Amino acid sequence: MSVTITFVAVDGRTEIVEAAPGSRLLEVAQNAGQPLEGTCEGQMACSTCHVIVDPADFVRLPRASEEEDDLLDLAAHVTRTSRLACQILLDEALGSLTVRMPAGARDMQGR
């Protein structure tokens, strides 16, 4: 069983991908061509992997660590359901997950 991920772009377009259980959301997003830089490659030293989780899914995820919350404080366009994609482990039990790219994510694609 895979985990169905829906990525919602800044302009509202969606892309749905199937992810292998146990993978990290950042990896899956990058493989799907989503505009997440992930500069520190999951070392929790940037915040360029910031995504906004659908509120219904947010409550189903394990809580963010204090370190993650601290980093999110520094990210732009943070919301109450913001998370770092490198810290989201796609557990099979999750089934599906919807995340939005934060405003400004488009800039990283070098339009």
Binding site for ligand FES (CB under 6 A): 26, 38-42, 44-49, 71, 84, 86
How far is residue 98's CA from residue 70's CA, in Å, rounded to a whole number? 23
Q: Which CA distances in Å does 35 have to 12, 26, 103? A: 14, 10, 11
In the complex, minimum distance from the CB of residue 64 to ligand FES, in angstroms, rounded to a whole number? 11
Minimum CB distance to ligand FES smaller for 44 or for 95 = 44
Minimum CB distance to ligand FES smaller for 17 or for 44 = 44
8 Å CB contact between 99 and 51: yes
Nearest-CB residue to ligand FES? Answer: 86
In the complex, minimum distance from the CB of residue 1 to ligand FES, in angstroms, rounded to a whole number? 26
In the complex, minimum distance from the CB of residue 16 to ligand FES, in angstroms, rounded to a whole number? 22
Beta strands across the sheet bearing 82-84: 14-19, 3-8, 96-100, 50-53, 82-84
